[in-house]
Amino acid sequence: MKYTVFSSGSAGNCSLLKTNELNILIDAGISKKQIEECLSPLNMSLNDINYLLITHEHIDHIRAFSQLIKLPNLKVIISKGTLKWITDYAREHNKIKDLENISYKLQTNMITEVKRIDDTIMYPTININTLSISILPLFHDAREPIGFLFEEDNKKLCYITDTGYVHSDLMPLIYNCDAYVLESNHDPELLMASDRPYYTKLRIIGDHGHISNEDSMYLLSKSIGDKTNLVMHAHVSQECNLNILIENKRKEVFKQYNVDDKNIDFVILGLAPTKEYLIWK
Ligand SMILES: [Zn+2]
Ligand SMILES: [Zn+2]
């Protein structure tokens, strides 16, 4: 399993997961042209992508969605709520023509809709060849946002961004993953001192907003284990966060909870593409 992040943050989110058999894009929040430019150094094109996974309907996650679904062989995994939001929006804005492939794809089972049940946390699992993808229900100001847990031969990659918190029911599932891509969105002091409107600040720090540095590090301190070798701090706010604050908060919280991190590589993601990381062989 190899993993490359093309872009992470509120300007656009998109990353590529490669297994021996599959090429999977997680979110399409940058332009189609940018995705093509990121694929080209890997000797790949959009025609090589088998699956597109969408976390939720915010523009920094679906910018190229209507173009990518035109690809003939691409399958989509998206929650029912997110798909409904996208089709309702297209209908209201007279853009339904852009989505004409959706109905075709629905008929041909090329869209897998996932449905969470709010009170009991359910996480349906989708199996594709040797890879299993568990759908993680998240809490964000979107219709039905989701994260993903990828598993193959007892190895796990956890992908969670755009959530106010992570439900405690998910903690056993995401314990001791080989790698984490986890939101570390903002420093609350920088956020509150920024000139954003007050309601935006409240939205971001709320239960359906984004995870702060401290909450992210606490979550990691309770999740990482002896198998963990890579942590990617994701969806980092450009205005309300700094790399040094992320690193300092990580050191502080890990010290407080006695976390052994000497075998873990830490990467702070941004808008530039990363190298290709080998998550497991
Ligand atoms: Zn986002
Ligand atoms: Zn969002």
- Each residue of 66-84: pLDDT tens digit? 999 989 889 999 988 899 9
Position 25 pLDDT exceeds 90: yes
Q: How many residues comprise the chain?
A: 281
User: Is pLDDT of 113 > 80?
Assistant: no
Find the 259 Cα to ligand 1 centroid distance in Å: 28
**The domain that contains 259 carries what CATH number?**
3.60.15.10
Centre of ligand 2 from the C-alpha of residue 162, in Å: 5
For the ranges 107-121, 131-145, 170-184, the lowest mean pLDDT is seen at 107-121
Q: Checking DSSP bridges between strand 230-234 and strand 179-183, what pairing results, if any?
A: parallel
Query: What spacing in Å lies between the alpha carbon of 258 and ligand 1's midpoint?
Result: 31
Residue ranges near ligand 1 (ion) with Cβ within 5 Å? 60, 162
The mean pLDDT value of the chain amounts to: 92
pLDDT band at 187; cut points 50, 70, 90: very high
pTM: 0.95
- Partners of 151 in beta bridges: 132, 156
Least confident piece of the model among 16-30, 80-94, 136-150, 169-183: 80-94
Give alpha helix (H) positions in the chain: 32-39, 59-62, 65-68, 80-92, 100-107, 188-193, 198-205, 213-223, 243-256
Distance 224 CA to ligand 2 centre (A): 25
Q: How far apart are CA 95 and CA 194, in angstroms?
A: 35
Burial class, 267, CB count within 10 angstroms (exposed 0-12 / middle 13-18 / buried 19+): middle
State the residue range of the domain holding 42: 2-278
Query: How far, in Å, CA of 186 to CA of 170, rounded?
Result: 22
Q: Using N-to-C axis directions, what is the helix angle for 243-256 and 213-223, rounded to 10°? A: 40
Assess contact for 65 and 89: CB atoms under 8 A.
no
User: Average pLDDT for residues 192-198, to the nearest whole number?
Assistant: 95
pLDDT, residue 97, reads 75
Domain tally, the chain: 1
